[in-house]
């Protein structure tokens, strides 16, 4: 069940960047994100009330608030602005460093130990990001968009660590309140930025919003918290290694986004760095001996 939930999480979340790109062709970024999370949050809130689910209190309430601030408010503040200029495949590739950032932030929070392979992986991932960035700059993708993707990755990683350090409890309640907190933050950003809220006229925009509200938000974040409750923070964040495969394939087919050799080379270096720094675990002598005896 956990593996099935993890697979669904990867597929649904990997397609999110495509749906966001479609909606941003007609809607301003902050209001688009605010509508997405307000609608999804209200639907989950109704489910929470109708089923009599427990509201978070104490440390769980604090964990829920921090989860909403980082996972929805801050992460999507940066992500939606970046997606106006960055291709979907590039977006998911830049977010692939989340497992590595999660491992490093988990050390900073004192819930995991620092590993030498983590530092090696960080260096490899940084090299890959530089290659990808150079390739994207040659395609006129603004450096600011790439920087915003990096900031979004940091916020996503911090949200994973927060959930492990201060578990928010019931996933429906946590996502309902977290999404509404994020929607409020993004709505305020849209208002402060002078964005004009418009009613979509294109069917593609409505389809994109429907996907983002349902499978792309409710489905993705319920599955994410379900897996997080059963796996470690680092293990759950491995999903970010697989998001680019979904996004690049869909971006090339549906949006006609170019896939350059330098992008593929840089992406391979990024994924190798994340694998070394956050996924790979060398066998200890005891483990090797146990395997031989088995």
Which pLDDT score is estimated for 230? 81
CB atoms closer than 10 angstroms to residue 283:
10
CA dist 184 and 261 (Å) reads 41
DSSP letter assigned to residue 55: P
How many C-beta neighbours within 10 Å does residue 200 have? 17
Tens digit of each residue's pLDDT (9 = 90 or more) over 10-39: 889 888 888 888 898 899 999 999 999 999
**Total-model pTM:** 0.74
Average pLDDT in the chain: 81
Task: Answer for the pair 153, 98: CB distance below 8 angstroms, yes or no.
Answer: yes
Cα 33 from Cα 145, distance rounded (Å): 17
- For residue 290, count other CB atoms closer than 10 A to its CB: 11
Q: Where are the domains of the chain?
A: 2-280
Question: Which tens digits make up the pLDDT trace of 242-288?
Answer: 777 777 777 777 767 666 777 778 778 877 776 776 566 676 555 44
Task: With CA atoms as reference, report the closest residue to 247 among 28, 5, 12, 7.
Answer: 12
Q: How high is the pLDDT of residue 293?
A: 45
**Those residues with Cβ within 8 angstroms of residue 226's Cβ, 6 or more apart along the chain or in another chain:** 2, 5, 171
Helices H, strands E: what count in the chain? Answer: 16, 0
Helices (H), 24-87: 29-50, 59-67, 75-82
How is residue 115 written in tokens? 């590993």
């Amino acid at each position: 069940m956990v593996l099935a939930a993890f697979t669904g999480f990867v597929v649904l979340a990997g397609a999110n960047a495509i749906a966001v790109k479609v909606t941003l062709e007609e809607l301003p970024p902050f209001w688009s994100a605010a509508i997405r999370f307000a609608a999804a949050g209200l639907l989950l809130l109704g489910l929470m009330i109708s089923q009599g689910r427990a509201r978070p209190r104490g440390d769980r309430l604090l964990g829920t608030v921090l989860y909403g601030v980082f996972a929805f408010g801050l992460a999507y503040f940066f992500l939606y602005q970046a997606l106006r200029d960055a291709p979907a495949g590039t977006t998911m590739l830049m977010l692939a460093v989340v497992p590595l950032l999660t491992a490093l932030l988990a050390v900073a929070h004192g819930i995991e130990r620092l590993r030498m392979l983590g530092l090696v992986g960080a260096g490899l991932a940084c090299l890959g990001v530089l290659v990808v960035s150079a390739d994207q700059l040659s395609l006129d993708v603004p450096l600011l968009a790439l920087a915003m993707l990096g900031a979004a990755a940091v916020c996503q990683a911090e949200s994973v660590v927060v959930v492990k350090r201060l578990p928010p409890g019931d996933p429906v309640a946590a996502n309902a309140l977290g999404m509404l907190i994020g929607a409020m933050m993004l709505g305020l950003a849209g208002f402060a930025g002078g964005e004009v809220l418009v009613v979509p006229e294109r069917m593609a925009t409505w389809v994109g919003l429907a996907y983002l509200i349902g499978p792309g938000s409710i489905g993705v974040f319920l599955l994410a918290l379900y897996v997080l409750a059963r796996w470690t923070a680092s293990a759950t964040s491995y999903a970010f290694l697989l998001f680019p495969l979904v996004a690049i394939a869909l971006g090339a087919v549906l949006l006609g986004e170019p896939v350059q050799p330098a992008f593929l080379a840089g992406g391979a270096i990024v994924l190798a760095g994340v694998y070394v720094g956050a996924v790979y675990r060398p066998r200890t002598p005891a483990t090797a001996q146990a395997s031989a005896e088995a």
